[in-house]
A = this chain, B = another copy of it.
Amino acid sequence: MEFKEAKEQFLQTWGALGSQWGINKTMAQIHALLMISPDSLSMEEIMEELQISRGNASMNLRGLIDWGIVYKEYKPGERREYFKADQDVDSLARKIAIERSKREIQPTLRVLEDVRNFDENTSKEAQKFKQKTQELYDFVSRADTMLEKITNQKENWVTKTIMKLMT
């Protein structure tokens, strides 16, 4: 396999993984491209490399910046903006975990809480519903706490966690 080919396959695979986990393909690809680039890239270069339109590049770069995992860089004497990715894989994963918790898990918890306060109703269905939504609430909220504990370790959190779990 040639380098160019390997790079291509990596970008494709990473994009596919992204979409399976609710991150849009292009966003995942731009991020992957920036990760493996020794130098920061301009929007033009990104468009060229991934064969995407200006609008698409612009929107997804903004998304990545919102997630806090890509930065703008201004080169002295240059008008154009350059983009670079957070280089530390651990910190990247930590940021994603924190953001997804904030954006998705916590809103879900709020709904699960809400939904148990329906008007008195003693039917079998209602009882079961109360019970299961409570169980789900407990589970999700414990999982969220766990994620928080794991990611609160500043460095090498995955490794540290495995160590602790070795018992």
Contact = CB atoms under 8 A, between A and B. Distances in A.
Contacts of A125: 3, 7, 36-38
Interface in A12-71: 13, 17, 19-22, 35-38
A136 B89 CA distance: 7
Contact of A22 (B21, B111, B149, B167): B21
Nearest to A87: B132
The copy count of this chain in the complex is: 2
A4 to B, nearest CB: 8
Interface in A138-161: 139, 142-143, 145-146, 149-150, 158-159, 161
B89 A1 contact: no
Interface residues of A, number: 57
A1 B139 contact: no
A101 interface: no
Interface of A: 1-3, 5-7, 9-10, 13, 17, 19-22, 35-38, 89-90, 93, 104, 108, 111-112, 114-119, 121, 123-129, 132-133, 135-136, 139, 142-143, 145-146, 149-150, 158-159, 161-162, 164-165, 167
